[in-house]
Amino acid sequence: SPSESQQTKFRFLARNNELPRSARLSLAQRASKFMALAQRDYPSLSDASP
């Protein structure tokens, strides 16, 4: 039925919108984790004065 194909299309679009968001989130989490590790290993980086 036409409504069925429309539903599938909508579901596909929804899935496409979900993917980048979760990818961005994991990227941000990885970046913040990296920054935390960097600050722990190199304290001079976080409070370095010019």
Q: Domain-by-domain residue ranges, the chain?
A: 2-39
The pLDDT value recorded for residue 13 is 73
Q: Can you tell me the mean pLDDT for 36-43?
A: 79
Alpha-carbon distance of 26 to 18, in angstroms, equals 13
Give per-residue pLDDT as tens, 18-33: 667 777 778 888 889 9
Using DSSP's 3-state secondary structure scheme, residue 36 falls into helix
Say what the pTM is: 0.37
What is the pLDDT confidence band of residue 46, given thresholds at 50, 70 and 90?
low
